[in-house]
Amino acid sequence: MRKIKNGIILAGGNSDRLWPLKDKIFTMYLGKSFISYLTEQLSQYCERIFIVVNDLNKTQIQDVTKNLHTYIVQNKQYSGMAGAVMSCSGKLEGEALILNASDYFNFEIISKIIEKSQDRSIDVILIAKKVNSYFPGGYLTIDGNTVISIVEKPLPQETPSDLVNLVIDYYKDFDQFLSYIIKTETHRDDWFENGLNLMLTKRRVEWIQYSDYWYALKYPWNILQLMKFFLFQIKESANDLTSVTIDPSATVSSKVVLGKNVKIGHYSKISGPCYIGDNTVIGDYSLIRESHIGSNCLIGSSSEVARSYIGNKVSLHRNYIGDSVLSDNVLMGAGAVTANFRFDEKDIFSSVSGKKVNSTMRKFGSIIGKRTKIGVNSVIFPGIKIGTNSLIGPGEKVTSDIPDNGLFFEGSLKKV
């Protein structure tokens, strides 16, 4: 099978909606960063890969690109996806496949694109997924194989179809696509879609239906779904037990991946699928279920971690962490708990840019930013997010989001 000449990964977005999480493309799953998964997969289908990054992650991206791929720092003059592709102007020519670094899907769909691209009369090939319930994305209006228009984020009652566009766009001639972007007026949010819509009226645009898994890192809790996907990739496998220490009284089920120098204490139980990173210590009486734990953590005695994503250098002690995301260097004092369900058993909502968003999860704990410390016996309510570098006092109840650098003591936010 031939490869597409150019693959472009758009990874320069700001992702305000992911707050307090940062660097989604560098989030590790099973010991590998998300962006590495994308490039490795895409390499199977594209000859060259371009990664469009922003100023903040241009240093870190070099560990990924090395000599294999090219990174392009997004021109600050242009924002959004259109801005990202504009920044590629002059860097590549000919056909291009454009991906968004927020999405994960079964890359085999690209072989269907390659097949369809044999027909050189097709200028653009889009991918669409049939949805059962409303999703705030772009909906296709089609006529057979042909895409007539894309309606961006229509009201739920006004969707023109049940086909949501995934950003896995094939352009036969990248410069041709750029010319439509340039012709379109510069709207911040829907510039990319406007350019594409203009092109739809002038060029031949076809579509392919996709019906396999699709993960979109839109909100911080989406990490939990992606984590689950990766955890369920773990096969029964013998760990390299030369550097790992498992107390004979501990119980480690199958489908548990243990990093180097992992230590598992007395009477602890790891119920797979689980991933535990290098040098992490699971103390005594700790119960880990369906979770992803980073490296150099101390998952202190008598803790329970269930269906949660734990970063690196996290310290726990006698905690219950359920359906939560704890970033690097988070510390929780003894007895602190993430509450993770509502009494009415309804879906848990979380505040995003001032609006309550339905997580669609009935069990959902907290999202905690880097270096934040939580005092002993504190309670974090379901769906709450706490920023980076924040401090929550002992015995506190956290019932609303805490900003970055927040100091929460005696029931109120003392400082931001």
Q: What does the binding site for a second copy look like in residue numbers (CB under 8 A)? A: 249, 251, 266-267, 269, 284-285, 287, 301-302, 304, 317-318, 320, 322, 333-335, 337, 339, 343, 373, 375-377, 379, 381, 391, 394-395, 397
Q: Which tokens hold the place of 309?
A: 């994503």
Of 110 and 326, nearer to a second copy (C-beta) is 326
Give the DSSP per-residue string, 314-328: -EESS-EEES-EE-T
Of 140 and 306, nearer to a second copy (C-beta) is 306
Of 204 and 289, nearer to a second copy (C-beta) is 289
Q: How far is the CB of 94 from a second copy (least distance, A)?
A: 55
Separation between Cα atoms, residue 124 and residue 170, nearest integer Å? 5
Separation between Cα atoms, residue 291 and residue 310, nearest integer Å? 8
Helix runs in 98-160, H state only: 109-116
Q: How far is the CB of 122 from a second copy (least distance, A)?
A: 56
Q: Which tokens hold the place of 154?
A: 């229509």
Return the number of other C-beta atoms located less than 10 Å from residue 365's C-beta: 29
Closest CA to 280 of 313, 324, 232: 313
Q: How far is the CB of 388 from a second copy (least distance, A)?
A: 14
Q: Is the separation of the CB atoms in 209 and 129 below 8 Å?
A: yes
Of 296 and 302, nearer to a second copy (C-beta) is 302
Separation between Cα atoms, residue 416 and residue 199, nearest integer Å? 47
Q: How far is the CB of 204 from a second copy (least distance, A)?
A: 58
Collect all residues with Cβ–Cβ distance below 8 Å to 284 and sequence separation of at least 6: 265, 266, 267, 268, 301, 302
Q: How far is the CB of 313 from a second copy (least distance, A)?
A: 14
Separation between Cα atoms, residue 310 and residue 35, nearest integer Å? 19
Of 317 and 370, nearer to a second copy (C-beta) is 317
Q: How far is the CB of 265 from a second copy (least distance, A)?
A: 8
Of 14 and 399, nearer to a second copy (C-beta) is 399
